Chains A and B, each alone.
Chain A
Amino acid sequence: MTERLVTRRNILIVLAALFFLIAWNRDVNLLYGMFALVSATVIMAIILPRFALNGVEAVRTLPSAAFEGEQIEIRVAMANTGRAARFMLEAVDSIPAAPPPEREPLVFAGRIGGRKQRDFTYTVTCHKRGCYTVGPLRLRSAYPLGIAWSERESDPHLPDLLVYPAIFRISSFPLLATGSLISSGMESLARAGGSDDFFGTREYRQGDSLRHIHWPSTARHDRLIVKEFEIRASTEATLLLDLHHEADAGEERESILEYGVRIAASIAGYALERGHTVQLAGFARQTHLVPPGRGHHHLAQILDTLARVDADGKIPYHEAINRAAAFMRDGSTAILFFSGNGTLQDHLFSLGLLRAKRLRPVALFFDRPSFSGGRTLPESEDPLLQELFAMGAPVYVVSQGNDLQELFA
């Protein structure tokens, strides 16, 4: 970074030189006096900040993880190990997770007494998900005149701050077997991957399988009693992100990847809350794969992975689908994130593969032009979208600026 030329310090140096030249030319001693005063001011302004930083240390503590949009509290402790008091010290941190104007937050200590320590706290909003290295914490001072700065690094500790993607509330999402279905012939029982949970007992009806007769109750009530099961046709959903390096479009939080990550996190939260099994996959420079699992701990794993993903892969999305299909269980739900980067031709094989495996796709189709600032095409003109509709897959079209909570209401 180039240093600014027109600074107060430089102006004063030029002024001092000017005073000296005028004084010399006109032999006016009062101007020599002005030269001396300006020079003394500049010298003091340069020397004192160095002294102010001498013997001062600062450390910062902050939480290791937070959610996108969450305010985190950062504590900065500044200690003066010298005997004399120090004035007007600043601790400047580097927090890349903060919004752009707040990425170098500054803490200002008016006075720190000799051999004293002072603690300061401030809050920063985590602007964007990701894994960030915070710091280094720099101490600086321009005491007392603000003309010249002295700066040095203080805390060698460079902690990581993991910012999870924000989760919005989803009211409903078409995961297969959402809700409870009683085994009354509404859905085929013989579904691979299905799981049966005990629901209760009732009297035997014609057509019930004899395997489901609950013999202890039958004996107790002296009539046939059968066990009833809650049936989930498929309880597994796979979130497959498009992490190809050309897939992303848009800036900062308003990019396809960020929208996708937020949606993926929210869907995962929704599904896991309802007891579904969720797995996450994405092929970036390294493969991100969270195996199927349930519960809050699993959500934490997914969020952790989602916080770190980046669109830097070389595998096109249709190829990613082909690869991911291998570890998707037959009949499960595949939640696909189409970034609008591929054509129908690219995806024909992969969609066929999904169909062959009886996977149920749910498509999130990103309106790419809206992210990249181009012209938005009508939905009906996109052949891939039409194909998805034809497959009977639920499709969500996401454009930049959409209220995601409303979209998934």
Chain B
Amino acid sequence: MTGPITYPPVYLGIYLLLLSAATAVMFAVATPFTAVVYALFWGIVFAAGIIACRRGREEQQEQYRQLTTASAVLALILCFGSLTMSGVETGLVLLLLTVQAGRNLVLSTRRDLNFACLISLVLILYAAGTAKDAYFIGFIILYALAGMFTFMADHIDARLNHAHGGDRQMLGRGMSLPAKGIGLACLTLALAFVIYLIVPRLQSPRIKAMPSSSNWNYDNRHWQTEANRPQPNGSGNGSENSPGKGSGAGIPVAPAGNGLDVTKGSIQVQGPNPIVLNLQSDRPVYARGEVYDIFDGLNWHDSGTGAVKRYHQEGRFALGPMPALGETLQVYTIRHELPTSILAAYRPAQLAFPGNVIETDAAMTMRAPYRLRTGTVYSVLSRIDEVARHPFSSPPDTSTDNERYLSLYPGISARLRHLADDIAKQASGDDFSRATAIESYLQERYAYTQETMMVTWTKDPVEQFLFDLKAGHCELFASSMTMLLRSIGIPARLVNGFYIHRYNPVTGYYEARASDRHAWVEAYIEPHGWVTFEPTSSFELPRRKQQLFVASSLINYVDENMLDLLRQHRDSLWVKILHAIWLAFMKLKIALAATCLQLLLLSHIILNWFLGWGWKALLLLSAAGIAAWQFWLFYEPTWRLAKLRRALSGDQSIFLRLCYREMEHFFALRGLPRAPQITAAEYEQFLDRRFKPLSGHVETITRFFQQVVYGTEVVSTIQMEEVFQAVEKILRSKVPMPGGTFRQFRFWKGQQA
């Protein structure tokens, strides 16, 4: 544990470990440019420390120790400074990095190595828990490879310290590792990938996952005053748990936002399509932003009815009945600045937000005092029930003011009303069926497109969409359905938010891009309450898909990204090459399928043959084979003895040599071949140790063999007969025959060479 480090690659391994961990942390918490700068800085600091440690002389050791102590003090100062400036996590990361930078100066024992490994492990663990991008897996792989390199170098270092002989000189000279590093790395990564794929992803218990909120402070004194709830623990008159009921709980505010122009749509992505937020959840969700109830034919507005400010000192807001276990927990991480709407799946029950005051309204829209900044993390617990795959809020909202949700825009045509009536007539009597009929009508007969920029809109874009264009973006679909529902007396509203369905199986987070902005419909249907509908064609309502293994998600993810990429570069050369390869692959696949089919056919024929009379033939053949083998086993000694018996009448020297060779062959097959340098007497001793019951016979054979080879005395006929009997006893003995003995035999031969 405290042995000195003498092998230079160990230092390189430590450096790579620390650098990969530090870089990973930087990329996890900072923007790429800043991360590169920080990583370079720490890379230089670590390198300088380790080089100084390697080249430092004895007299400098004391100076380095003082520097290490100074760095520890600096680390504490930085840590406390960061605690107040940037938060606990940043402070602790700085503490670890600075402490290790100092310790690099006195890095000399295996204990220091283990300490460095521990520091780097904590850093990478923190980074892995914080990172939201798929490319981060690259840092983890780099870290693992650096770890393997370090372990390997440390292993060699330990061998160099302990070995009495061998390749000490060769290894001590340079940096060469006696291992196939690249092959090993590839093998390990391949195995890790297989494990990653086959590890089941069980339902997560999410212990201590709620509440989770951090990074920014959204406290607002004016809103706090408006909320008139200065109680530190959020307790008071209970208004926080009964939104929209008044009782002095909050102060109504004016309608929020500038409205939504249905002709423009919410997806206006020009250029890159960045990830705007990450969601950690066990299912895809419709994250509601704004809810609109008033439509003037062109724009949607939110009346803001029932808006109240809610206060809680720690930012823990109870928005509905206390949720039971198994509710959908969502942890949102904002990656790009967003409007003030706090996104959440309907219906939010609890919110943990990094601010002490928020605004909610009767439609359960939540707003923060400021725009949601990059890095904001908040968590929501929503209760999501489903009726015929449509999410709905439960229990129904008894305070719903349905009048607002039934109003039609001025000048709505009778054609639209007739259309609604016609669709509704085809459905059964209840509201849910009529609503789903309208949803299906829109989904099946209208096309989704974002190419509506060049359309010249009339004063009634909804009717233009329904009767003329028959294609449009999601706002047109949602507005049309809302109006159709309202025209047949079903309260409805338009919801704008994010359709969060892109699951990244590498990180485990859902990713919402700017292009994932979406609009959909909520209709109030008894006895369910507000039910979510998706009228836009090519969209489908998010459903919980519990997948035990990540492979299918991974394939889908790669598929989606590849398709996106191909769509963007459909005219480029490499896409054409890929297309050609794909075609070739498909042809190959078809050929393979055909071959498999033929093989299947053949196997069927064989199976039929086997079930007919084939099994009898096979059984007969097997029995014959076994019998032949047993016959051979039984008669082999007899055959060998017959050979010896013939030799018995000839030259006694040849006979005894043959006997001895038979004995050698017998024991060589049983794991004790005679090495050339071993004398007959030594061999006899070995055999005596291993095969005690046969020792007498071995002794007899060896004695007469030596007598005839080295001695001058003539062996009598009686003695030769005695030898023959000894050989017979040995050959007929039941000594088991282990495997792999010939290899050893060959090795002894090699030894002699």
Which positions in A face B, CB cutoff 8 Å? 8, 15, 19-20, 22-41, 43-45, 48, 55, 57, 59, 76-77, 79, 81, 87-88, 90, 102, 105-111, 117, 120-124, 142-147, 156-157
Contacts and interface: CB of A to CB of B under 8 A. Distances in A.
B156 to A, nearest CB: 7
Contacts, number: 183
A22 B121 CA distance: 14
Interface in B736-753: 743-744, 746-747, 750-751
B192 A36 contact: yes
A184 B282 CA distance: 119
Contacts of B206: 25-27
B272 interface: no
Interface of B: 121, 124-125, 128-129, 131, 136-137, 140-141, 144, 147-148, 151-152, 154-156, 158-160, 162-168, 170-171, 178-180, 184, 187-189, 191-193, 195-196, 199, 201-202, 204-209, 280, 282, 504-509, 550, 672, 686, 743-744, 746-747, 750-751
A81 B746 contact: yes
A28 B129 contact: yes
B669 to A, nearest CB: 16
Contacts of A142: 155
Secondary structure of the B side of the interface?
helix
Given A44-B184, A76-B165, A109-B166, A30 B131 contact: yes
Contact of B144 (A37, A108, A109, A120): A37
A42 to B, nearest CB: 10
A81 B741 CA distance: 12
Contacts of A33: 128, 137, 140, 192, 196, 506
Contact of A124 (B144, B164, B744): B164
Contacts of B165: 76, 105, 107-108, 120-122
A110 B199 contact: no
A105 B164 CA distance: 6
A29 B549 CA distance: 12
26 contacts: A25-B207, A27-B280, A27-B282, A30-B140, A34-B124, A35-B195, A35-B199, A36-B195, A40-B191, A40-B192, A41-B144, A59-B751, A79-B747, A81-B747, A88-B178, A90-B159, A105-B165, A106-B163, A107-B165, A120-B166, A122-B165, A144-B184, A146-B152, A146-B154, A147-B151, A157-B686
A22 B509 CA distance: 15
Nearest to B553: A29
A87 B164 contact: no
A59 B156 CA distance: 23
A41 B137 contact: no
Given A28-B128, A36-B199, A106 B192 contact: no
B209 A39 contact: no
B125 to A, nearest CB: 7
Contact of A36 (B147, B152, B166, B196): B196
Contacts of A102: 164
Given A26-B129, A37-B144, A44-B191, A146 B151 contact: yes
A88 B178 CA distance: 7
Q: List the 4 closest A-B pairs by CB distance, nearest first.
A: A146-B155, A122-B165, A29-B508, A110-B178
A147 B206 CA distance: 33
B166 A40 contact: no
B192 A37 contact: yes
Nearest to B208: A25
Interface centre among A20, A24, A117 (most CB of B within 10 A): A24
Contacts of A38: 144
Contact of A25 (B121, B131, B154, B205): B205
